[in-house]
């Protein structure tokens, strides 16, 4: 693996926490992702199933984790199945993990080859009272492709129809919402790499460069520092395209006098970072750009202060809306009296700020978590306000990654330049 591994104690603790929430006689199965084909004999790069990684630390295809805390045999309470290397694999791909390496990474003593899974799981299912199956239950997930988990769920329902079927996702969503020190260390490393990439861009940026050249500079810094690459598709949007929220074409030339919005983040050890900065192509903001930028920056600073333990997500969202409305009025984009009379179901600010202010961050850039109820210590959230004025060709978004601590919000990106003066000074140098 490219990244430095997490200590196995982290995965042991995660398995213990998950297993403690299973019903009596419950058995849970987690499968690695498929390797998806491109064309001919090509494949996309493998990305491990986040839940399997969270519980095992195994970052390899054709892996299965079984948790059965009430198993009659001690060795079957936790089982890892991994792919066995043969001569063909060794020559063409390189050797896979052996059992000793898998034990060291995961802290799991019972390791079998994946080819033995069907035989062993049948015996264990007959002993179990209920079967916990996993699925991608993210609220924004689009279920357009059948996964290995989907196929296994169908198989279990067909062959073990008298067993009670339970869902693993609600348990894992609760656990993964709260980050411990090992996870914060991974995200912080990802943020450091992302910050270095941004500093690299500040020195590189000038009129005439193409958006994809900026993306290349970012990618160079990512790979140089052990990152597996971007945690999501990088957005490098100059001029009016900064008003397109998920612009990923990155194929335009950057024009003197315009802004370039860059939303990118490195992945490190499967953990994501998520940064947005907006800078002037020529190194100096125009008066109007400076005015709008200052408004977005003020919203960011004041919004981040609201990410306090005990505050509710509903109250947080309401307060952010007030901040946005106030800034849009100052910018002469909204009329104060019209705002007072607006339809609450169709608020006027949505014309200029049409996305959410925060999302969970972790193994996914849009990580699992429940944004109902209270904000609590241990949560890791982005804070990313923006103002998009399509008619002026100005789109500005700023984003930091915020850890909620018992003492309040901690900005994991506080070292990354964001003030107007420091941006201009760094670009000038």
| Active site (annotated) includes residue 263 | yes
Total Cβ atoms within 10 A of residue 184: 19
Question: Quick one: residue 325, left, alpha or beta (phi over 0 = left, psi -120 to 50 = alpha)?
Answer: alpha
Q: State the helix-helix crossing angle for 181-204 and 211-224, rounded to 10 degrees.
A: 140
Alpha-carbon 297 to chain mean position: 23
Q: How far apart are CA 257 and CA 277, in angstroms?
A: 17
Q: How far apart are CA 345 and CA 355, in angstroms?
A: 15
| Active site (annotated) includes residue 41 | yes
Closest CA to 131 of 81, 66, 55: 66
Burial class, 339, CB count within 10 angstroms (exposed 0-12 / middle 13-18 / buried 19+): middle
Beta bridge partners of 409: 404
Q: One of 62, 217, 263, 424 is an active-site residue; which one?
A: 263
Any idea what the Cα angle at residue 52 is, between residues 166 and 74, rounded to 5°? 75
Q: One of 364, 388, 401, 424 is an active-site residue; which one?
A: 388
Q: One of 3, 293, 397, 424 is an active-site residue; which one?
A: 397
Residue 10 φ/ψ, nearest 5 degrees: -60, -45
| Active site (annotated) includes residue 173 | no
Asked if 250 and 220 count as a contact pair (C-beta separation under 8 A), the reply is no
Closest CA to 238 of 225, 251, 220: 251
Q: One of 59, 241, 384, 401 is an active-site residue; which one?
A: 384
| Active site (annotated) includes residue 33 | no
Beta bridge partners of 253: 210
Q: How far apart are CA 386 and CA 245, in angstroms?
A: 10
Q: Cα separations (Å) of 398 from 258, 313, 382, 423?
A: 17, 20, 10, 13
| Active site (annotated) includes residue 384 | yes
Asked if 397 and 385 count as a contact pair (C-beta separation under 8 A), the reply is yes
Q: One of 15, 132, 359, 367 is an active-site residue; which one?
A: 359
| Active site (annotated) includes residue 391 | no
Q: One of 355, 374, 414, 422 is an active-site residue; which one?
A: 355
Q: One of 366, 367, 401, 424 is an active-site residue; which one?
A: 366
| Active site (annotated) includes residue 215 | no
Q: One of 59, 62, 241, 274 is an active-site residue; which one?
A: 274
| Active site (annotated) includes residue 88 | no
**Over the Cα atoms of the chain, what is R_g?**
24
Q: One of 220, 224, 246, 288 is an active-site residue; which one?
A: 246
| Active site (annotated) includes residue 246 | yes
Question: Quick one: residue 368, left, alpha or beta (phi over 0 = left, psi -120 to 50 = alpha)?
Answer: beta
Q: State the helix-helix crossing angle for 8-19 and 99-106, rounded to 10 degrees.
A: 70
Helix (H, G, I), strand (E, B) or coil at 262: strand
Q: One of 217, 221, 326, 399 is an active-site residue; which one?
A: 399
Residues annotated as catalytic are 41, 246, 263, 274, 355, 359, 366, 384, 388, 397, 399
């Amino acid at each position: 693996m490219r990244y430095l591994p997490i200590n196995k104690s982290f995965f042991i603790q995660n398995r213990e926490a998950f297993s403690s929430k299973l019903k009596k006689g419950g058995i849970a199965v987690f499968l690695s992702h498929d390797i998806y084909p491109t064309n001919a004999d090509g494949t996309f790069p493998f990305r491990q199933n986040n839940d399997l990684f969270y519980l095992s630390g195994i970052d390899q295809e054709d892996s299965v984790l079984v948790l059965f805390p009430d198993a009659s045999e001690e060795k079957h309470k936790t089982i890892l199945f991994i792919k066995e290397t043969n001569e063909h694999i060794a020559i063409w791909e390189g050797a896979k993990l052996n059992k000793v390496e898998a034990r060291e990474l995961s802290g799991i003593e019972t390791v079998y080859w994946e080819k033995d899974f069907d035989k062993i799981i049948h015996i264990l299912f007959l002993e179990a009272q209920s079967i916990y199956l996993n699925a991608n239950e993210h609220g924004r997930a689009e279920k357009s492709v059948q996964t290995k988990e989907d196929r296994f769920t169908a198989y279990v329902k067909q062959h073990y129809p008298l067993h009670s079927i339970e869902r693993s996702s609600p348990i894992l969503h609760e656990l993964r919402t709260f980050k411990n020190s090992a996870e914060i260390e991974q995200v912080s490393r990802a943020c450091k790499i992302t910050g270095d990439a941004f500093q690299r861009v500040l020195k590189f940026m000038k009129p005439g460069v193409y958006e994809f050249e900026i993306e290349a500079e970012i990618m160079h810094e990512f790979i140089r520092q052990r990152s597996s690459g971007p945690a999501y598709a990088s957005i490098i949007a100059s001029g009016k395209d900064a008003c397109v929220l998920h612009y990923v074409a990155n194929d335009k030339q950057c024009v003197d006098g315009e802004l370039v919005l860059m939303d990118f983040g490195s992945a490190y050890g499967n953990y994501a970072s998520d940064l947005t900065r907006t800078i002037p192509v020529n190194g100096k903001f125009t008066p109007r750009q400076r005015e709008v930028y200052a408004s977005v920056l003020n919203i960011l600073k004041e919004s981040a202060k609201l990410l306090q333990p005990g505050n509710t997500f509903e109250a947080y969202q309401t307060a952010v809306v007030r901040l946005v409305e106030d800034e849009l009025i100052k910018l002469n984009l909204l009329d104060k009296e019209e705002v007072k009379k607006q339809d609450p179901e169709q608020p006027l600010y949505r014309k200029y700020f049409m996305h959410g202010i925060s999302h969970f961050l972790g193994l996914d850039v849009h990580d699992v978590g429940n944004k109902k109820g209270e904000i609590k210590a241990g949560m890791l959230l982005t804070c990313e306000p923006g103002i998009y004025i399509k008619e002026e060709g100005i789109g500005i978004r700023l984003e930091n990654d915020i850890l909620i601590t018992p003492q309040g919000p901690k900005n994991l990106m506080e070292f990354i330049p964001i003030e107007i003066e420091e941006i201009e000074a760094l670009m000038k140098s």
